[in-house]
Structure 1
């Protein structure tokens, strides 16, 4: 962005901050509540799923569990980070506190109704879809004036990713495209959105914390990532997906190299973000190899993306935002290291060991337990900071 644009953005952000300072504590930075809400939903869903796995069956189908984890847990947390960073980056006021708290309530209600099933599930899914459509419209109102002040690829790409999210969630709710819906959610929404947001914040925080850091943002990365992700989802289950996997590997690896992962391994609060990116890349490598080695590898690739990649990134960002905006030292800390370590253990049990030929009926419940315990630890150790003024 140009200097006049940056100045205008800073003025708008300062004005918004002064207004927020006169609000109740929870309304000052209401987006913070979305992180503990996401983790609480995750604990319930994972606890239910783990019990089912141990019992050999139950309430949720694998497809329903996957959709609820993506949209109810990761979706809620990603919205929290989006509302944290996107207005500030673009000099826009944050959404009013009551609106954000209502959004959190709708996300929880949608999950509950989806769990009930039947007509209630359709109503819950419809509420969630309308919520994402509303967030898409809000992002567009932030993006348009910001782009007029000065072009930024992250700013321009986010509304299109959110629009894709609305479509993907609508497909999941309707059930008309059971193969496309989860593929579009992963490749067209959550992977592009996570990496698009990282494209802005990872170099920014690395320059502040890493002496001599010379990372860069590649031109065209975010837009190409979204387009390739959508195309990859459209060919889910076909041999042509291998070509899209390969293109995504090259694109993500090239930008990852630009973010200088070896320079950014310290401090650990930055290093864990690079760990999440590595899991995403490994997922695409495994998925590309699946048609030639063993088609069942595609299932483990999905868990490398969702548990390893998105799980690590979502939890790491939640730790960072909660600490940074909750008056805690901006470090990973022992509790954060344990949380992230539990996620790594979960992906090892759920994906890596099966890929290596290790099988046991308790691997899946154990993986669910590790992931749920990581989220529970967040609730016990970090969530109280959300309510601090």
Structure 2
């Protein structure tokens, strides 16, 4: 497919271009804005409590845009169909942008309108990727359920705020985070061993990177149970105990991935780093719910900034290089971004 000459049109020639750009811009704006709100009481045009606005936009604005970029890039490869481009991408990103604007100025709009436009982004995304997945009967078709569950969490969040129930709104956000972590477990468990093996082969290494099916299935099953338990027994000792079990399984899973051998490959080790925060964050969650520990209160930050944001940055930088025909080598500036994000978790 030939690339249009105009820059605005070129933006919509591949699924990762507008979505990853949106995710990057969202992160660059949301984080400093939240810092100003938290530190100096910067007023927002939203009718939502500032903490709820921050949590929602980081999950359903930033992370959702990154998920869209991944799926719109991966689905054509999984199914052998032509990549997404043109008007469908324009519509998808227009819906995403309208959602962000309506939420930021939600005091001016009916709550029902804000809900419909915001949730529509995930539904339009599902409408784009579902047909090729279903026609190909691809093994990744169950990922459509992840999109549906995320959309349901978003609806629940909006409804909770309408009824002035911040506890239920937090519950919806936490469940959405659990579902996003499940997606990381599924996708990360496939791409990290593969990318690691490719990197080692490029250096002439004959070391094998294993992926034990039993452990992989246990890791996925554990994260499904974590999400289910958090729906019914959020912040309970049951949730804490299950988080401990999931942390152990995820740590065992990583033992087979030869993480130390990737230290010369920043574009690979950043994915290992992001995934490593998963067992650590789950362990901190377990400590927070089962007892009193000084650092346990940081578990949510470890699972969001540590896992989700780091994995997003790692996948975005790799896809941007790989799908534009460039060598899979990041420059020092990007490597510095990886390190700074790691520091930000702390």
Instruction: Tell me which interval the TM-score lies in, with the shorter structure as reference length.
Output: 0.7 to 0.9
**d(CA) in 2 for partners of 1:103 and 1:89?**
21
Does the C-alpha gap of structure 1 residues 143 and 92 become closer, same or farther in structure 2, counting only changes over 3 Å? same
- Indicate the larger mover: 289-298 or 174-183: 289-298
1:186 offset after TM fit, Å? Answer: 0.7
> What whole-Å deviation, never above 9, does each CA across 1:283-331 have from its counterpart, x for those lacking one?
1111101134338866411111111111111111111112222344321
1:281 offset after TM fit, Å? Answer: 1.6
Kept in 2: contact 1:265–1:272 (CA 8 A): no
Does the C-alpha gap of structure 1 residues 207 and 291 become closer, same or farther in structure 2, counting only changes over 3 Å? closer
Does the C-alpha gap of structure 1 residues 267 and 63 become closer, same or farther in structure 2, counting only changes over 3 Å? same
Residue matched to 2:78: 89
Calculate the TM-score normalised by the size of structure 2: 0.84
**d(CA) in 1 for partners of 2:136 and 2:257?**
24
Residue matched to 1:10: none
1:223 offset after TM fit, Å? Answer: 4.9
Is residue 330 from structure 1 mapped to residue 328 from structure 2 by the alignment? yes
Kept in 2: contact 1:206–1:213 (CA 8 A): no
Residue matched to 2:210: 215
Q: 2:132 aligns with which of 133, 139, 142?
A: 142
Residue matched to 1:367: none
Is residue 243 from structure 1 mapped to residue 278 from structure 2 by the alignment? no
**Any gaps of 5 or more consecutive residues in structure 1?**
1-20, 349-389
Residue matched to 1:186: 177
Calculate the TM-score normalised by the size of structure 1: 0.75
**d(CA) in 1 for partners of 2:197 and 2:170?**
41
Does the C-alpha gap of structure 1 residues 112 and 121 become closer, same or farther in structure 2, counting only changes over 3 Å? farther
Does the C-alpha gap of structure 1 residues 135 and 205 become closer, same or farther in structure 2, counting only changes over 3 Å? same
Kept in 1: contact 2:157–2:170 (CA 8 A): no
The root-mean-square deviation of aligned C-alpha atoms, in Å, is 2.5
> What whole-Å deviation, never above 9, does each CA across 1:86-140 have from its counterpart, x for those lacking one?
2212323333422123212211211111111233554233223122123334444
**d(CA) in 2 for partners of 1:94 and 1:229?**
34
**d(CA) in 2 for partners of 1:226 and 1:160?**
15
Q: 2:194 aligns with which of 199, 204, 207?
A: 204
Residue matched to 2:34: 49
Does the C-alpha gap of structure 1 residues 191 and 264 become closer, same or farther in structure 2, counting only changes over 3 Å? same
Residue matched to 1:9: none
Residue matched to 1:5: none
- SS of the residue corresponding to residue 28 of structure 1 reads coil
**d(CA) in 2 for partners of 1:249 and 1:193?**
16
Kept in 1: contact 2:192–2:272 (CA 8 A): no
Residue matched to 1:161: 146
- SS of the residue corresponding to residue 262 of structure 1 reads helix
Q: 1:132 aligns with which of 100, 111, 122?
A: 122
- SS of the residue corresponding to residue 179 of structure 1 reads helix
**d(CA) in 2 for partners of 1:232 and 1:57?**
36
1:249 offset after TM fit, Å? Answer: 1.2
Residue correspondence of structure 1 range 352-371 to structure 2 within 5 A: none
Does the C-alpha gap of structure 1 residues 137 and 259 become closer, same or farther in structure 2, counting only changes over 3 Å? farther
Is residue 259 from structure 1 mapped to residue 257 from structure 2 by the alignment? yes
Does the C-alpha gap of structure 1 residues 199 and 291 become closer, same or farther in structure 2, counting only changes over 3 Å? closer
Is residue 40 from structure 1 mapped to residue 10 from structure 2 by the alignment? no
Residue matched to 1:76: 65
Is residue 230 from structure 1 mapped to residue 193 from structure 2 by the alignment? no
**Any gaps of 5 or more consecutive residues in structure 2?**
5-9
> What whole-Å deviation, never above 9, does each CA across 1:210-256 have from its counterpart, x for those lacking one?
13232225253575255224214212122211122023213322332
Residue matched to 1:381: none
- Indicate the larger mover: 330-339 or 131-140: 131-140
- SS of the residue corresponding to residue 237 of structure 2 reads coil
Q: 1:304 aligns with which of 278, 302, 317?
A: 302
